[in-house]
Chains A and B, each alone.
Chain A
Amino acid sequence: MAGMDLLSDQGFRTDGRKPNELRRIRFKKGVFKQADGSAYLEQGNTKVLAAVYGPHEIRGSKGKALHDKLLINCQYSMATFSTQDRKRRPRGDRKSQEMTMHLKQTFNAVVLTELFPKVQLDIYVEVLQSDGGNYCASVNAATLALIDAGIPMKDYVIACSGSFVKDTPIVDINHLEESTAGAEIIVAVLPRFDQIVFIEMNSRLHEDHLSRVMDQVMNGCKDIFNILNQQVKDELCKKAAIDKLVDAG
């Protein structure tokens, strides 16, 4: 973009963040009554709703059932009003199909699927407002929805994106940075095991810079994990406090 720096001389990004700073994260679990688990997550201006239904009997053709493990069914969709230009997005378009596949792979790696043979789990993700990092926000929201539903998982899955601007690695990039900065790295990790379950890179990045960007993105994932985990724990503690009141009575 002409006349505009993604990283100012003072070392700030266009939205005033430092290179290693995340956008504000806010979330709420249990936003739907009907679903087994649900979550609403905001990462800056990216807003995502996730709902989990199941595990339940296979819907549709019974042939899809896996005899030894859980079948995970994902659906990713973007609202018509989620981007700058209003656009009808049919559910089966290529972009969301790809995203659906990625989400499915990610959660197959982390949900303890062998505990639920012959049944199905549905994960529905809807992007309400898109400002970059849709995959990351979707994964984080779906993780929270799975926790809300009480589905056994190996660990949290946390996703974070990163890029490389003016010899500096930056994390959690927004739409402007996504579309102008060039290389974009998206990583989904199991933060407590330091394992990567998903990694994607768009456009080119010099090999020498890769490890620096990766380190920064991993740190971003850890930060997101700490934020999410803290609030999940706090909510549980609150519930435990109410229970204690009842038990004492």
Chain B
Amino acid sequence: MSVDIRLAKSRVVGLDVYHGDDPGNIVTPGDVITADTGFMRGHGTYMSEDCLHSSVAGMVERVNKLVSVRPLKTRYNGEIGDVVIGRIIEVSQKKWRVETHSRMDSILMLSSVNLPGGELRRRSEEDEKMMRNYLKEGDLISAEVQNVMSDGCLSLHTRSLKYGKLGQGTLVKVSPSLVLRRKTHFHNLPVGASIILGNNGYIWICPTEHVEAGETGGYETNLQPVSRSEREAIARLRNCVLALADQNVLLFDTSILYTFEASQKYAVKDILKPEVILEVVDLVQQRLELEGS
């Protein structure tokens, strides 16, 4: 088996589109954004000596009077209605703790899940004892953010058949800022696989037929073997997502599908080679520009 090894200095660098021009809205921690007192203090800013200062390095964004600074990388900041993928880390009294790449562990209450046997069923003590049978430590779930507590802790719910436990598939972790907020985050791609783009930067790729068969809230896990072609499609999608993330391209169904198509001439394992990433992602960017999406 051949191994691909290269020296650090022979690595390919990304496309160079920067010509030394300052876009004018770049700030670093401590920079004065404005000395005008008519503005409101948003995220990434603080007041000191009657001036509005930046507290992170990033781009200044202004919505009417609200000034905020968006850093390149952060932990996930949940908003109500977001679709997230999470991993159960603890089963406790009437609730599960879920890791969602947020500042604090998220919480999934027993009362905010659909239990097998109807939506409008009273939750009994029996259910409480059975909690570990539904979801146990290490399980992956898809859920929606129901509420954001005052300390930033997220409360999740899976009260729809599209949410619930995830069965066979691949999890990819990327930066939360790369996932574009859209109307739908569940996509059945025409390549034999489905993808869930969690707003928290966790992306789930699984075979399509499992999604269609498994709309039961996920309590019956489908453990049928997945065919080779499907597994290949999933592996290719995973590498495509990682390639896009490597070049900081926003992730949504179209960009992922275009990358999938552009990567066809390479073997799945070669997609993550730096020069291939550059070529494929460049093609995708050109195509996206052409179509003006």
Chain A residues in contact with chain B, CB under 8 A? 30, 36-37, 54-57, 112, 116-119, 147-156, 190-193, 229, 232-234, 236-246, 248-249
Contact = CB atoms under 8 A, between A and B. Distances in A.
B249 interface: yes
Contacts of A190: 30
A154 B46 contact: yes
Contact of A147 (B57, B104, B248): B57
B117 interface: no
B72 interface: yes
Interface string B95-107: 0000000011100
15 contacts: A112-B46, A116-B103, A119-B103, A150-B71, A150-B73, A152-B55, A154-B53, A237-B20, A237-B26, A238-B17, A240-B59, A241-B21, A244-B23, A246-B249, A249-B290
A137 B292 CA distance: 46
Contacts, number: 115
Interface in B241-285: 248-250, 285
B288 interface: yes
A249 B285 contact: yes
A156 B28 contact: yes
A236 B59 contact: yes
Nearest to A37: B73
Interface residues of B, number: 43
Contact of A118 (B48, B75, B151, B288): B151
A240 B55 contact: no
B289 interface: yes
Given A56-B103, A240-B26, A152 B56 contact: yes
A156 B72 contact: no
A241 B18 contact: yes
A32 to B, nearest CB: 12
Contacts of A242: 14-15, 17-18, 248
Contacts of A54: 75, 103
Query: Which label, helix, strand, loop or mixed, suits the secondary structure of the A interface?
Result: mixed
A7 to B, nearest CB: 35
B28 A148 contact: no
Contact of A154 (B29, B103, B151): B29
Contacts of A244: 23
B74 A237 contact: no
B26 A233 contact: yes
A198 B152 CA distance: 32
A190 B49 CA distance: 15
A237 B72 contact: no
Nearest to B292: A249
A153 B1 CA distance: 49
A147 B17 contact: no
Given A150-B72, A232-B57, A237-B21, A156 B292 contact: no
Contacts of B290: 249
B2 to A, nearest CB: 24
A107 to B, nearest CB: 12
A119 B151 CA distance: 10
A243 B249 CA distance: 8
A150 B19 CA distance: 25
B44 interface: yes
B192 interface: no
Interface string B130-168: 000000000000000000000110000000000000000
Contacts of B58: 150, 236
Given A36-B75, A56-B103, A239-B248, A147 B28 contact: yes
